[in-house]
Structure 1
């Protein structure tokens, strides 16, 4: 099972700020999420949609939670307004990103529980907490 973060960026500056954070976050999850926590799900996928000068995604927060039964994946979008990152200190962006990721994962786990997929919720939550703690260090 893996947690994978990908991104869609509204302009080159948003990509320059969020892409390295996304890569670092993926590494934190890879290090801390190492077991099977679900019956059949193989991936929790979060897409960062970061509004910028070229593309404005016109919303904020977690949205569009989807279950891809054939692929055994839960996915969700995490949308950021331009005002959440433009001219904001990187440590604040990092914290906002971690909080959003945690919200998304909580929603995904709730959905997985409804789908009767969760095998070891406690261990999964511990791995997520450890990954986010590593990311925030």
Structure 2
């Protein structure tokens, strides 16, 4: 009986997980080169959704570590990979970027050099997509 209740609890939790994961999969992310990629702006995108897209690309689509550092290379503006769209270019390299202030964690996509580790950016996926499902 106890195992049956545990199985029911796990199954009932699956739709919530699937809904969040499904929305992350709809974010358009275009690789540029070995270190750079662009997150294309979707409907009602703010900084949280861009950072979520960056973490999604690194961890789920590229299979890299959640400890990978992410940097804003080119702030939100006209896309470099999708004409007519807006996007943010992220990089896994800080080469040529202004140094980040290690004492300040900021959620911006308007400042080159802004940085978060992938696991920190991933937290915004839950925030970004669960707001609409509550």
TM-score, L = length of structure 1: 0.30
Query: Which structure has more helix as a fraction of its residues?
Result: 1
Normalising by structure 2, we get a TM-score of: 0.30
Larger radius of gyration: 2
